[in-house]
Structure 1
Amino acid sequence: MPPAPDFPPAQTEQALLERYAAIAYDKQTDLYEVIGDNSWNVEMAAGTITFGPGLAFPLQVLGTFSHASQTWLWAWANAQSNLPDGLLAQAGQLRAYGAQHGIELLSTSEFDATNRDLHIIGCIASGMFGASGYYLANYGQGTMVVTVKSELIDRVSKNDFARISQVFPQIIGVFEMNHRPAFIQYVAQKGYPVTETADTVSVAVGAGTLTATFDELGRLASLKGSSGS
C-alpha cells in the first residue's frame, strides 16, 4: 500500500467513513483470501490473533460489543479486562482524535450500538492506521473488534482495475456517503492520480482507465473501464 495522501483532517464521523470505508473494504478482500473461514484464537500476552498454522498476526484491540446489552465498550475504557497497554495504542489514538474533533463515536467510552457500528469502527481504524484489515471476533457473549497487520495479507495479488470497479459500487450500497469525494480518496489511497472534469473522475490504472461519472448531486452514475492500446 502506498503512503497515505496528505488529506486535511476529517472532522466528523461521516467524513472519516467517506475517507476510509472503501479502502478498508478493499483490504478486507485480501484478509479473507488469506484466512478463509478459519476459526480464530487470540493470545493477548503474545499480542497476536491466529487463524491456523502460519497465520498468526499482530493485533490491536479496539473494543468489544456485548450481545446481551447491545452496547459497545472501547478497549481503553475496559479496565476489567486488564488488556496489555501495547494492544491499546490504536484505540487510544482514536480516542484522542475523537476528543480533538468532537467525534462522539471515538471518544464516548460506552454506547448503544449495532453491528453496523462495529464495521464503521473497524473501517476507520483499518484505514487510519494502514492496517491489513479488521476482524470481528465473536466469542459468544460478545464480539471483539481488532485490527491486524501482516505482510502476507498485504502481498496478496490483485487486479486493481477489477477491484476498484467491484469495491466502490458495493461500499456505497452499504454506507450512505458523498460518492465523489469518497471515490477520489479511495483511489488516491491506492496510489493513483486522478483527472477531474465537471462530472467525471478518471483514474489511470495500469494500462487502462477507469472513469467514474457523477450526477448533479455528486452521486455515482456509472463506472466504466477502458483498456490501453
Structure 2
Amino acid sequence: MSGFSSAFERLGAALAAVVLQQQETLAEFLPREDWSADLTARTYASGGVSVRVSLLGSYAARERTWLWGWANPQFGDDHPAVGPTMVIRRLGERLGIPEFTTPEVDLSWYEGPAGHGGELIAMAAGGVLGGGGYIGAGYDGGSAYLHVDDAQAPPAPWDPVPVPRLLMNAVSLFPHEPRLTLARLLSHHRIPYREADGRIELRLPGGGGTARAHFDGLGRFVDWEAELSPAAL
C-alpha cells in the first residue's frame, strides 16, 4: 500500500505521462556526461551545454528521506535557486498535499518500481513547474534534483506513436487513475478527446487518424488501438 497521500497520488497521476515525455526530450537535448553546477548562479553544465536550473530538493539514500531545498539549512527559501520553486509549497498548502509542505519526507516505506520514492516527488514537483524537465545530480550519499528552467530546453512535441508506452510507464509509477493520466497528456498537447464507456477516443490532428484507449471496469488501462494515416508517422 502506498504511503503517499491521496492528493499527491492524484496529482502524480495527472502529471506522470507529461513529465516522462518531457524527460525523454530533455535526455536528447542535454548530454549526461561530467557535470558541474553553481546553484547561486543557477547553472548546470554537462557535455558543453549549460542550462538555468532551480533546486527542488534532495534524496538521502541512507536515511531514505526527501529534503526540500527550502528546508535545507544550506539554502532556504530565499536562495536564488530555491525561490522559483516555492510555488510548489504554496500549491501543497492550497490543495492539502503534505508531500509538498513537509520539510523532510520519510520515504523508508517505498518499495515501488521507481529507484526510490524521492524520484516520484521530483516528478510531481517538476510537473507542477513545467519547463524543460528535471535532473537527478548524484552525489556521495544521494541525489540532488534540479528543475530545468531554460527556454533553450525544447518542449516535448506531440507524437501519437509512444503514447501507449508513456501511459503504461506512467501508470506503473502512479497507478490509481490511468484515465486521468491519459486525459492530462492529451490536454497538455491540446488534443481533443471524448470519454465514452470504458474508453477514451481521440481524432489525431492534421488528419493523422484515430485512436482509442480501453480501460476495464476498475479503470485500469488494458489496450490501445490506433489507425494512423501516413501524416501521423
1:132/1:149 contact within 8 Å kept: yes
How far apart in 1 are the matches of 2:229 and 2:42? 46
1:62/1:90 contact within 8 Å kept: no
Flag as ranges the 4+ runs of structure 1 deviating above 6 A.
none
- Which letter does structure 2 place at the counterpart of 1:43? D
Partner SS, residue 116 of structure 2: helix
- The change in CA–CA distance for 1:35 and 1:166 in structure 2 (over 3 A counts) is same
Give the corresponding residue for 2:182.
183
Q: 1:153-210 CA distances to partner (integer Å, 9 max, x unpaired)? A: 3156x56011213211222123322111221112111221112211221122231222
Alignment counterpart, residue 13 of structure 1, candidates 4, 8, 13: 8
Give the corresponding residue for 1:78.
72
Partner SS, residue 153 of structure 1: coil
- The change in CA–CA distance for 1:80 and 1:36 in structure 2 (over 3 A counts) is closer
Q: After superposition, where does 1:37-186 map in structure 2 within 5 Å?
A: 37-53=32-48, 55-81=49-75, 85-113=79-107, 115-154=115-154, 160-186=159-185
2:37/2:43 contact within 8 Å kept: yes
Partner SS, residue 204 of structure 1: strand
- The change in CA–CA distance for 1:84 and 1:49 in structure 2 (over 3 A counts) is farther
RMSD of equivalent CA atoms? 2.2
Give the corresponding residue for 2:216.
215
How far apart in 1 are the matches of 2:224 and 2:94? 36
- The change in CA–CA distance for 1:151 and 1:165 in structure 2 (over 3 A counts) is farther
How far apart in 2 are the matches of 1:112 and 1:42? 27
The TM-score normalised by the length of structure 2 is: 0.84
C-alpha displacement of 1:75: 0.6
Gaps of 5+ in 2: 1-5
How far apart in 2 are the matches of 1:149 and 1:163? 25
The TM-score normalised by the length of structure 1 is: 0.85
Q: How many residues align?
A: 217
- The change in CA–CA distance for 1:205 and 1:154 in structure 2 (over 3 A counts) is farther
Q: 1:3-51 CA distances to partner (integer Å, 9 max, x unpaired)? A: xxxxxxxx81011101111100010100111224323211123211111
